[in-house]
Amino acid sequence: MSKSQIATGGIADDAVSTAKVLNDSRIVTPLIINGDMAVAQRATSASGLGASSGYNTCDRWNFEKEGSPSARFTQSQDTDVPTGQGFTTSLKMDCTTAAGSPDADDAISIQQKIEAQNLQLLRYGTSSAKKVTLSFWVKATKTGTNAIWIYQNDDNRSQAQTYTVNSSNTWEKKVVVFAADTTGVIDNNNGEGFRINWWLTAGSNFTSGTLSTTWQSHVAANNAVGQVNNADSTSNNWYITGVQLEVGEFDSDTIPPFPFESFSNNLHKCRRYFVKSPKTDGLNHYSLHDMFTYDNSNCYAGYIFNPPMRAAPTISQTTAAEFLTNGTDKSITTDMLYSSQKDNETARIRFYDGNAFSDQNGKVGILQNGTFKFESEL
């Protein structure tokens, strides 16, 4: 069968589908990054989550908390996946400290943020605005209604929809359609365009209103109406994988297949937002190259980002490193990281420690082993 013979009759006119892509000879880049949870640069497990928000395991997936929840979770990259779908990893949330009833201002969710410039094809703020369809696989101990909320940052607008977990501890595929927004405009820049939340638990400040199933000015009480409490027992687990966001309206029969990518392509996209150097595979790796001493007190190192990061990153050092030269080597401890000059493509990092570099003064070398993190998340 030729490309022109591929049938598209059952697909909505505003849908970007695999079949239409083939017809038009276009390549559609997934709007969700690391939807199969394959990349986990930071760690494969993190425990005690609940006191603060942050990125912990699978890249691009943020643990978000509101208020001061008493519930705690362990988050991990897991190998429990739906059978026969091609996935090898999922994101697991394991409740380790239960909260039978969340306080009014408490909430916990899993979240991905999407750059505004990647959403311009939605044509928001015009009469041609597009619907989007969110598809994913979920497995949860707790059955019942769960809410998903999309927040549009530039105009402070939001919409929420729900899905139902029908069977406990069983993988189920969900397809959820979100209405188009002909009013709110998404700026064409590298800031936050969408914030997509999968709620796990939410207090009355987020559940006491009316579910905002169309785009409207943001009202917190409308975000998670009907949400079950996935944190009411330490027996509760919640898994997700195969997350994709498609332009247009689809159902379970017409949703395009998950857009699998090679691991290297997936990692390349993730590194726009976070880079960890060096790799932690049990081998000695060079953390930073082109390192040189300026005087007895200052040492500099350079780093080139590939790909360029979203914006100039924050830089941190979490373990000690070694400055290797053709003379006396020098330990670089975390308290020596002093300052940096940086943009989204390069960084020059300064290390300072009194007269510590007298033995290395005027020498060029490399930095080995110490862990450096470059973060440019939304």
Class at the top of the CATH hierarchy for domain 3-270: mainly beta
pLDDT for 5: 37
pLDDT for 283: 52
CA 111 to chain centre: 7
Q: Please, which residues have CB within 8 angstroms of residue 295's CB and are 6 or more apart in sequence? A: 357, 361
> What distance in Å separates the CA atoms of residue 162 and residue 126, rounded to the nearest whole number?
26
Report angle CA 94, 95, 99 to the nearest 5 degrees.
Answer: 165
- The whole-number mean pLDDT for each consecutive block of 10 residues of the chain, a chain of 378 residues, reads 39 44 46 98 97 98 98 98 98 98 98 98 98 98 98 97 98 98 98 98 98 98 98 98 97 96 96 83 58 83 91 92 75 88 92 81 76 94
Q: What is the DSSP string of 236-258?
A: -EEEEEEEEEEES---TTTPPPP
Query: pLDDT tens across 101-127, in order?
Result: 999 999 999 999 999 999 999 999 999
Query: pLDDT tens across 71-105, in order?
Result: 999 999 999 999 999 999 999 999 999 999 999 99
Q: Which pTM value belongs to this model? A: 0.90
pLDDT for 286: 58
DSSP 20: H
pLDDT for 193: 98
pLDDT for 285: 54
Token code pair at residue 111? 């979240």
> What distance in Å separates the CA atoms of residue 72 and residue 99, rounded to the nearest whole number?
8
pLDDT for 292: 78
pLDDT for 28: 57
> What distance in Å separates the CA atoms of residue 292 and residue 328, rounded to the nearest whole number?
13
pLDDT for 326: 66
Alpha carbon of 236 to those of 55, 71, 240, 338: distances in Å?
21, 12, 14, 44
Residues 369, 282 contacting (CB under 8 angstroms): no
Of 9, 30, 8, the C-alpha closest to 19 is 8
* The residue to which tokens 């949400």 are assigned: 227
Helix (H, G, I), strand (E, B) or coil at 23: helix
